[in-house]
Structure 1
Amino acid sequence: MRFLVLTTAILWMFNAHANIEPKAVESELESLAKKHGVQLKDVGMYATSGEGESLRTIIDVNGKIRMTPASITKVVTASAVLANFPPGHKFKTQLLGSGDIKNGVLKGNIYLKGGGDPSFVSENMWFLVNAFLRNQVKKIEGDIVVDDSLFDKMRYDVSRQKERVDRAYDAPVGAMSFNWNSANIFVRPGKVGEEAKVFSDPENDYIRLVAKAKTTSGNENKLLADRKEDSKFDGDVIHVGGSIGRGNKEIAIFKNITQPDLWSGYNLKSFLAQRGVQVTGSIKTGVTPESAEVMAESESKAIEQILADMNKFSNNYVAEMLTKNLGTFKKPKGASLADGVVLINEHLKSLALPEDQYHIESPSGLTRENKMSSYVMWRVLQHLRNDFRVQPEFLSSLPIAGIDGTLKKRMKDSEAERWVRAKTGYINNVVSLAGYAGLADGRVVTFSFVYNGSTDETKVRQFFDKLLIFLVK
């Protein structure tokens, strides 16, 4: 009898230790909110622990109230993408030719046909050019015609913020895009008092650099870089001014471009020239004729790796590119972002979510028009967690606390480092975080935290992070 009593006591103690008590969580949540100046009326939070019959709600603060989610919207986008493009799916970019090849001369145009690949970068362009060289062409007596007709011509969707900026996160979208439609500008100091050395990478005739930055003593970085309008020039003009200290090795600046199709074409011409292929014509836009023959083809990274590009770094450009690819199911040519957003909302409807708790207009979350409750976001996360066909791919796309992506510097050197994988979100007066927190005993906390208010975003992030550290502990 005594043994039975002891055994029961031990089991009770074990279960008490194993469970996350909602009351303890509530107490800690309120204490942390007060400490960081966060009013709970401004948050929407929902979290559970365990799974199946042992699933328990441990946090529900305004969980079913619609709020602006910011970039955690990309979780929804990822879910719709994986529902339509299974793991392993790849997009194709092609080089096609029209005309005959005689003695190494192609007498006709080549067509750079975009297949909506968000991950088409310099390595892919090299692969495409190297494959093209096996046709033994050394001269093209014709034009480079860029075909990006798979998508519509709207480069900046109305769902984005109204003010355009020239930073990489606001890059335009096109079915034929290159290097995330952004230029890399590198600045190195020269001698003190002299001009700094400015480079564009990759080098091409689309970018015109106006370099007026000076070199100073010390380690300061007061560089100014702006993209300027120039109606007399087909490409983009980037002015680099200000100053760089002699103590700096190199400063990188990333600027988006305005015309994805021409940008891609000029880079193709540059890459061909580096391999000794001359193009006598110009760079144009158009549609590939049916009679053109495929001369080279490049496949994208697998869809799950592209999702990692989107989620790890909260890349808005990738989110919109993938959404327009979704749109091709509705419209095989000239697909719009709105076409893709229809599929995202159809996907959410298929999950039987409460329709009065969400409204999605933008796949990236770079808008205040999106609305979603923390409960709905939790439901999407649970769907992704429970669908083994996509679970590993989605999980690996998320930033890891203290390790990489937008969580690289958060929860570092804490009990939550490497134990939290989550998508971050931020626009003015909106801070969000949604994902999973692993526990040492194998259970997982699925959570969705959203803040809409005027408290300093740093304090809100600390509030979210400290709460997760408490849950992991």
Structure 2
Amino acid sequence: MEIWKKLLISVVSIVTISGSVFISTSEDNTVEAATSYGSLKSAINNIMADSRMKSATTALTVRKASTGEIVYQYNGDKGITPASSLKLLTAAAALETLGEDYRFPTAVYTNGQVQNGTLNGNLYMRGKGDPTLLKSDFDNFANSLVKQGIKRISGNIVGDDSWYDSVRLSAGILAEDEPYYYAAPISALTVSPNSDFDAGSVIVQAIPSINGKATKVTLTPQTSVLQVVNKSRTVPKGYKNTLKITRQVGTNKVIISGNSPVGTYGTKEWISVTDPTLYVLDVFKKSLQAKGITFIPSSVVMKGKTPDNAKVLESKRSKPLKDIVIPFMKLSNNTHAEMLAKEMGKVKYGEGSWNAGLKVMREYANSIGLDSTKWKFEDASGMSYSNKITTRELSLLLYAVQSEPWYKTFSKSLPVAGISDRFVGGTLRNRLKTTGARGNITAKTGSLENIKSLAGYAKTKSGETLIFTVLTEKNKTSTIPALDRIATTIANHY
């Protein structure tokens, strides 16, 4: 590939042109500075001496975006848990494998006939991995069925999620995370509570009611799959808000506890469901009933496969991947990452599994010249603490994708420093707001307990673009202030 010929020439220049870049020592812990980057080297070294960074396990690589040359490196070959920075590979592999215009179809089928307003047969909803389905889509399906003359259904409502395998949680998901949206189970048929598209979760909100009474609880969307146990209490104004909302692990029992002072907004949590497919069917049935469609007493909601001879009653396709990648990367959506992994496996190998999807990701890494043996991951979102990558490899990925035809889409998906719009600034909307950094840094964040990362592009004051990747783990205190100082320093380099 031409990109690697270009990079090879750049590497040769490191050896032959004295002082052109920083060159790491054999231990990869210090660098030699050239005149043009001397001030940057000194400034970064000062930040690396920060107590937060010294107490953590830290790695950093900075490259020239134009040539791929490394201009600063510290522990560049050390494997560190990347957290959500791993999504950079997931997004790149998905755009390459599926394509920017890829759409996810969902359809409603029947194996019966409509006679005198009654559908004599089952109603099937078949999902093929759309991570952006909303209740409004089910309302539209229901409207269409009404227009087709369906007033009553004599069969069952069946959810077909067979497009993916039945493994719901990726490796490394901790029990303490399982009740929340960021660790929601993965299904080829799922629904989101709002346009953030946190698929497989329900927004549970508790607000104060009358003093001495339990709080008022709402679910969005309304669903019967969660059993709410409300142990909370409304207390007088001025008391501390101690409301807590969680789900009992392994069950659909949502526990609400604590005090909610009068005059406050209470609290809300995005709570995951244990079975996204049954969640979809419950919400869909409510949409049907709201449109006046009734069921015979023996009708049930169940999972199953759509018969080969079933006919389509209504269908929809998702937005293209180039649009879905925005909420995925801007908001660091874990469910999207894992669904994309399974989709890649399904499309390339006919198997909607993590094994197949992660294989596709490794193959993509190899295809652009990365060393996949340096990429150790067991999920696509970065949730696992067992994942390990190096800053050298991560920065090389960011260099290589610049030559891809879908790079503009990839670049647009990255959070932009200090921009308040959630679908522009994303996870960086409240960070890096200082002069020089704001708007000039586009990067993916990563965060797990005692792990922080930042990887992306910085436009410097001289107009040059530098690629930087910083990974830290075993943090005694948050390294985010130091990571932001490094990014700002790079952006302010002349």
Name whichever of 343-352 and 445-454 sits farther off. Answer: 445-454
Alignment partner of 1:24: what SS?
A: helix
Name whichever of 415-424 and 306-315 sits farther off. Answer: 306-315
- Tell me how far 1:162 sits from its aligned partner: 6.0
1:397-436 alignment to 2 at 5 Å? 397-403=413-419, 404-436=425-457
Matching residue within 472, 476, 483 for 1:451: 472
> Which AA in structure 1 matches 2:181?
A
| Contact 2:64–2:71, Cα closer than 8 Å, also in 1 | yes
| Contact 2:65–2:399, Cα closer than 8 Å, also in 1 | no
Cα distance in 1 between the residues matched to 2:387 and 2:157: 40
Q: TM-score by structure 1 length? A: 0.89
- Tell me how far 1:164 sits from its aligned partner: 4.9
* Residue of structure 2 in register with 1:181 after alignment: 200
Alignment partner of 1:445: what SS?
A: strand
| Contact 1:161–1:366, Cα closer than 8 Å, also in 2 | no
Q: Percent identity?
A: 27
* Residue of structure 2 in register with 1:13 after alignment: none
1:37-436 alignment to 2 at 5 Å? 37-39=52-54, 42-52=57-67, 56-161=69-174, 164-179=177-192, 180-218=199-237, 220-228=240-248, 236-280=252-296, 281-332=299-350, 335-387=352-404, 389-403=405-419, 404-436=425-457
The 1:428–1:240 alpha-carbon spacing in structure 2 relative to 1, beyond 3 Å, is closer
Name whichever of 205-214 and 158-167 sits farther off. Answer: 158-167
Cα distance in 2 between the residues matched to 1:223 and 1:20: 57
Cα distance in 1 between the residues matched to 2:148 and 2:283: 20
Summarize deviations over 1:410-459 as a string: whole Å, max 9, x none.
112442112111111122332111111123554311111111233312xx
Q: TM-score by structure 2 length? A: 0.85
Alignment partner of 2:242: what SS?
A: strand
Name whichever of 180-189 and 413-422 sits farther off. Answer: 413-422
Summarize deviations over 1:141-169 as a string: whole Å, max 9, x none.
11000000011111112243465531111
Alignment partner of 1:359: what SS?
A: coil
> Which AA in structure 2 matches 1:184?
I
- Tell me how far 1:262 sits from its aligned partner: 0.8
Cα distance in 2 between the residues matched to 1:455 and 1:210: 37
Cα distance in 1 between the residues matched to 2:171 and 2:374: 23
Matching residue within 23, 37, 60 for 1:22: 37
Name whichever of 369-378 and 61-70 sits farther off. Answer: 61-70
The 1:341–1:111 alpha-carbon spacing in structure 2 relative to 1, beyond 3 Å, is same
- Tell me how far 1:395 sits from its aligned partner: 1.3
> Which AA in structure 1 matches 2:354?
L
> Which AA in structure 2 matches 1:351?
I
* Residue of structure 2 in register with 1:461 after alignment: 480
| Contact 2:58–2:471, Cα closer than 8 Å, also in 1 | yes
| Contact 1:20–1:58, Cα closer than 8 Å, also in 2 | no
The 1:370–1:249 alpha-carbon spacing in structure 2 relative to 1, beyond 3 Å, is closer
| Contact 2:171–2:378, Cα closer than 8 Å, also in 1 | no
The 1:227–1:42 alpha-carbon spacing in structure 2 relative to 1, beyond 3 Å, is closer
| Contact 1:150–1:332, Cα closer than 8 Å, also in 2 | no
Cα distance in 2 between the residues matched to 1:336 and 1:440: 45
> Which AA in structure 2 matches 1:286?
G
The total of aligned residue pairs comes to: 445
Structure 2: 5+ residue runs without aligned partners? 1-33, 193-198, 420-424
- Tell me how far 1:200 sits from its aligned partner: 1.2
Cα distance in 1 between the residues matched to 2:380 and 2:446: 13
* Residue of structure 2 in register with 1:5 after alignment: none
Summarize deviations over 1:60-98 as a string: whole Å, max 9, x none.
112122222121000001111001111121101111011
The alignment's C-alpha RMSD in Å is 2.1
The 1:293–1:191 alpha-carbon spacing in structure 2 relative to 1, beyond 3 Å, is same
The 1:263–1:61 alpha-carbon spacing in structure 2 relative to 1, beyond 3 Å, is same
